[in-house]
Amino acid sequence: MASNPPTPPAKPAHWPATDDGGAVLLERRTQRVKPPQLYQVVMLNDDYTPMEFVVYVIQQFFNRDMETATHIMLKIHLDGRGVCGVYTKDVAATKVDQVMDAAGKAGHPLQCVSEPVES
Ligand code: TYC
């Protein structure tokens, strides 16, 4: 008994077209993905949070060495605000939460916000 040849599996809609010779025509599609919007974590000055605590927080949550953390803290103290780091949106939000949590637990009014970086 002659059996029918097996039917090839159905091709997905995006499958490349084939010509009669069986050659595969690959369509070139350049994919352009925009880089993610970045957010800077900005710390604000106040009159009560001890400088040592701010330096500790910057070292702890923004991976800065003591000298850099001190430099950033002094900038905040003098200018009213300063950037501690630049991250993607979710990471920046996590840093803000960590700082606010640590400050609250220590009883300091330290404030920290994240804002989109101007491009
Ligand atoms: N101004 C604070 C003081 O004199 C120190 C300080 C620095 C507080 C930076 C907050 O984000 C800050 N003790």
Q: Render pLDDT for 99-109 as a digit per residue (tens, 0 to 9).
A: 999 999 999 99
Q: What is the pTM (predicted TM-score) of this model? A: 0.77
Q: Is the CB of 71 inside a 6 Å radius of any atom of ligand 1? A: no
Characterise 22 by phi-psi region: left (phi > 0), alpha (psi -120 to 50), beta (else).
Answer: left
Residue 65 Cα to ligand 1 midpoint, Å, equals: 18
- For 3, the 3-state DSSP assignment is coil
Residue 59 Cα to ligand 1 midpoint, Å, equals: 15
Query: Do the Cβ atoms of 95 and 58 come closer than 8 Å?
Result: no
Q: Is the CB of 72 inside a 6 Å radius of any atom of ligand 1? A: no
Asked if pLDDT for residue 9 goes beyond 70, the answer is: no
Asked if pLDDT for residue 1 goes beyond 50, the answer is: no
Tell the residue number behind the tokens 């599996």, with chain if given. 9
Asked if pLDDT for residue 55 goes beyond 80, the answer is: yes
Q: What is the pLDDT of residue 99?
A: 98
Q: Is the CB of 73 inside a 6 Å radius of any atom of ligand 1? A: yes
The residue whose CA has the least distance to atom 7 of ligand 1 is 77
Q: Which pLDDT band holds residue 29 (cuts at 50, 70, 90)?
A: confident
